[in-house]
Chains A and B, each alone.
Chain A
Amino acid sequence: MQPIHLAWVDYAILLAYTAFVIGIGWALRRYLKTSSDYLTSGRSIPAWVTGLAFMAANLGALELVGMAANGAQYGIATAHFYWVGAIPAMIFLAVFMMPFYYGSKARSVPEFLNMRFDYRVRCVNSISFAVMTVFTSGISMDALARLLNLLLGWDYNFALLITSAVVLVYVLKGGLTSAIYTEVLQFFMIVLGFAPVVWLGLKDVGGWSVLKSKLADVAQHPAALALSDKTFAPDAWSSAWKPVLAGPDANPMGVGAFPMIFGLGFVLSFAYWCTNFLVVHRAFAAKDMRAARRTPLIATVPKMLFPALVILPGMLAVALAVMPEKAYRLPPVSIADTKYAPAIADLKAATPATADAAFDKISQEVGLKMNKAKVAAIIKANSLHPIPDNVLKDELQDAVSDNYYNGVILSLIKRYCPSGIMGLALTALLASFMSGMAGNVTAFNTIWTYDLYQAYIAPKKSDRHYFIVGQATTVVGIILSIFCAFFASHYSNAMNIVQLVFGFVNAPLFATILLGMFWARATGTGAFLGLLGGTLTSALFHALTLATGDVPGIKGGYIHVVQMFPSEMAQNFWLAIFAFGVSFALTVVISLATKRTKSDAELKGLVYSLTPRLKDDERHFLLRPSVLGIILLLACVILNIIFW
């Protein structure tokens, strides 16, 4: 990809944003007096701010880039991650779970687990979560540094260190409040930075109805864009439910209705939104119970509408790609620098007569799927008039037919943004990378200081002591993230394994917390062994299954392939279903077989049946969380029906 030339106005916008996030951290420092001010914002923030931060914490750049990629690959069915997944889970969190989380006065999810069960469950959760946050923020920073390197030609190390330094300054000074405030800033940056790109794209294609008819072309001939080898019904990219209900073979995701609704909608989404401390942390910072319960509810409103901003660009990109007059193609996968030399030597040696053999050899050397006609054309042109190496290099890159889906959103920004708007859109992207790091570092802070340091290493120190430890942990967390980023840049496979392993913990943890909150009989031993059993089930399931098109190894099936799935997504959804099921069943059985260690009195405020119902004292009937939840759920159902 050619570096983009940025004008003064683009740099000015970038600088303005950076100056403001640092300024916010600076301005907040005088309000922070205690460790809880620093690590949990002293429970003082209004609901609309925590609500937007709740949503923005999940809106990392990997999500932005990934959702556009999925929009191109799978079409509007990608919106199920929002309309089936996130929304019901967020409403459930607000109406049913928040009273126990917030009411227990726990400062973190692991601390809640300690109150409800015992130190073992807390220990497992806090260690796995602490490691995960550091790795996640490392992956995010690595991606950002690569992007700056690719886009603006900055040195990788310089980009990594300077962006980490910015995050360090504002989190160190302002703690969680700073992270939350910049998340709100980032939320508006993303909405206002991406909206013009999407609007211009939609205008360019010719509106929604033209988009739909072009997507019908895509669905009937996805091979033309190297999207899939199959063919689908015309509405496969533009209908959310019909292709899914028609079965896993009828939609590009390869997922049927049951894994979609139960696997994604129930297990995976509830596990993420209701137990992941990174997002729940935002609600813990709310100023009172009412604000805490309203936090996820407020977040559902933008969340419901976000597919228009993050998934639509991907759909627009594939539609543009089938319109020859628009001269747009999906970005191809880049050829690695080391692989050019032999491929170019072969290109030069080949003649039109040996083009077929040369094509096979070159494809193998490059390691990617190539376009046969384009390679043959290059060989023909070169045999008539020798082409210089650097031009050959560009033409060879252009002949790659494998798509680099994660590049879709950037290719649209490059296509539509003149200087000015370009700076705004890039700043939005940059902002989401940095706040991804800040969010993870603040969560790591809290878990380390309260759940590991205070609980096991140095209990009963003064608050001042924990305040300083919290600040020191910020520095350590960022240094660890930088190490992880370097690690990710060298061993991308190792990083995939790390992420995979964390995926194993999520679904079983949801069973643990669900039973903990709604079944007084669940015991510590039951929860602990259930959690371990569920995690082992994930690992085993992964080792025994594989998705079509993958080779056994990191993608699964390395012990023995017992079951094949039509896509990785289907494999993932089923994995979550099994892990949740085993964790749930084990926790129930072992709990019934072991003695309760906590009395009813100890569990008051932690378990549904032993807690007096909250009295909704909202001034207006419509503002009660349960009523609001039902209204929002209805709105979500209506969206599903509109795009059925």
Chain B
Amino acid sequence: MGLDIRWPIGIMFTLISVLLIIEGIATGPSDKALGMNIDLWWGIVLLVFGVGMLLGASQGGKKKNEGGK
């Protein structure tokens, strides 16, 4: 199928990670989350995941194009 699923996954999680990081910086650590700034830390984890997916998708796209030629 023409659409590489890694693009939407990567873009969506990158977007969500930015939202979480902003929320984390704005509100600081939370008592609910045992005094940790879980939004910030988990936002960073999601950012790494999202960017990783995007990198994978762009690499995959390149390979396919080269193979096609």
Which A residues contact B (CB, under 8 angstroms)? 7, 9, 12-13, 16-17, 20, 23-24, 27-28, 30-31, 41-42, 44-45, 49, 177, 181, 184-185, 188, 192, 196, 200, 203-204, 415-421, 424
Most central of B16, B38, B42 by chain A CB within 10 Å:
B16
Q: Is B8 an interface residue (CB 8 A)?
A: yes
Interface string of B1-31 (1 = CB under 8 A from A): 1110100110111011001101110010010
Whether B23 contacts A196 by the Cβ 8 Å rule is no
Q: Which of A27, A415, A419 interacts with B23 by CB under 8 Å? A: A419
Contacts of A417 in B (CB 8 A): 32-33, 38
Q: State the CA gap A9–B30 with chains docked (Å).
A: 15
- Residues of the B chain whose Cβ atoms lie less than 8 Å from the Cβ of A27: 3, 8
A452–B32 alpha-carbon span in the complex (Å): 53
Residues of B within 8 Å of A24, CB to CB, are 3, 8
Majority SS at the chain A contact face? helix
Please list 20 pairs of residues, one from A and one from B, whose beta carbons are closer than 8 Å in the complex, sorted by A's number.
Answer: A9-B22, A16-B19, A20-B12, A24-B8, A27-B3, A31-B1, A181-B3, A181-B8, A185-B12, A188-B9, A192-B13, A192-B45, A192-B46, A196-B42, A200-B36, A415-B32, A418-B38, A419-B23, A420-B20, A420-B39
Cross-interface CB contact of A419 among B15, B27, B43, B45, cutoff 8 Å: B27
Q: Are B34 and A418 in contact (CB under 8 A)?
A: no
Cβ distance A201 to chain B, nearest Cβ, rounded Å: 10
Among residues of B, the one whose C-beta sits closest to the C-beta of A9 is B23
Q: Residues of B at under 8 Å CB distance from A?
A: 1-3, 5, 8-9, 11-13, 15-16, 19-20, 22-24, 27, 30, 32-34, 36, 38-39, 42-43, 45-46, 49
Task: Point out the residues of chain A lying under 8 angstroms from B49, CB to CB.
Answer: 188, 192
**A27-B8, A192-B45 are known contacts; what are 8 more A-B pairs with Cβ within 8 Å?**
A24-B3, A200-B33, A416-B33, A418-B39, A419-B39, A420-B23, A420-B24, A420-B27
Contacts of B32 in A (CB 8 A): 415-418
Question: B8 touching A23 by the CB < 8 A rule?
Answer: yes
Supposing A20-B12, A23-B8, A192-B49 touch, asked if A420 and B19 sit within 8 A by C-beta, the answer is yes
A20 touches B38 (CB 8 A): no
The chain B residue with its CB closest to the CB of A7 is: B23
For B32, give the chain A residue with the smallest CB separation.
Answer: A418
Q: Which residues of A sit under 8 angstroms from B43, Cβ to Cβ? A: 420
- A43 CB, nearest partner CB in chain B, Å: 10
Question: Chain B residues with Cβ under 8 A from A424's Cβ?
Answer: 16, 20, 42
Q: In the complex, A417→B20 CA distance in Å?
A: 12
B19, B30, B33: the one within 8 Å of A13 (CB): B19
Q: Give chain A nearest CB distance to B67 CB in angstroms.
A: 14
The total of Cβ contacts below 8 Å across the A-B interface reads 91
Contacts A417-B33, A419-B23, A420-B24 given; does A188 touch B13 at CB 8 Å: yes
Cα distance A200–B41 in the bound complex, in angstroms:
13
Question: What's the nearest-Cβ distance from chain B to residue A539, in Å?
Answer: 43
> Is B27 within 8 A of A31, CB to CB?
no
Would you give the shortest CB distance from A394 to chain B, in whole angstroms?
Answer: 21
Q: State A418–B24 Cα separation when bound (angstroms).
A: 10
Closest approach, in angstroms, between the C-beta of A352 and any C-beta of chain B?
38
For the complex, what is the distance from the CA of A42 to the CA of B20, rounded to whole Å? 38
Q: How far is the CA of A418 from the CA of B35 in the complex (A)?
A: 11
Nearest CB on A from B34, distance (A):
6
Question: In the complex, which residues of chain B have a beta carbon less than 8 angstroms from the beta carbon of A16?
Answer: 12, 15-16, 19
Q: Which residue of B lies closest to A20 (CB)?
A: B12
CB-defined contacts of A177 to chain B, threshold 8 Å: 1
Question: How far apart sit A9 and B32, CA to CA, in the bound complex (Å)?
Answer: 17
- Report the minimal beta-carbon distance from A398 to chain B, rounded to whole angstroms: 21
B2 → chain A closest CB, angstroms: 5
With A192-B49, A200-B33, A203-B34 known to touch, is A421 a contact of B20 (CB < 8 Å)?
yes
Interface pair B20/A9, CB less than 8 Å apart: yes
Q: Are A421 and B19 in contact (CB under 8 A)?
A: no
Once bound together, how far apart are the Cα atoms of A235 and B13, in whole Å?
40
> Could you tell me the distance between the alpha carbons of A411 and B15 in the complex, rounded to whole angstroms?
27
Our pick among B3, B16, B23, B38 for the contact of A28 (Cβ within 8 Å) is B3
Contacts of A12 in B (CB 8 A): 19
Chain A hits for B5, CB < 8 A = 49, 181, 184-185
Report the bound CA distance from A601 to B60 in whole Å.
43
Q: Is the CB of B20 within 8 A of A28?
A: no
The distance in angstroms between the C-alpha atoms of A422 and B22, with both chains bound, is 15
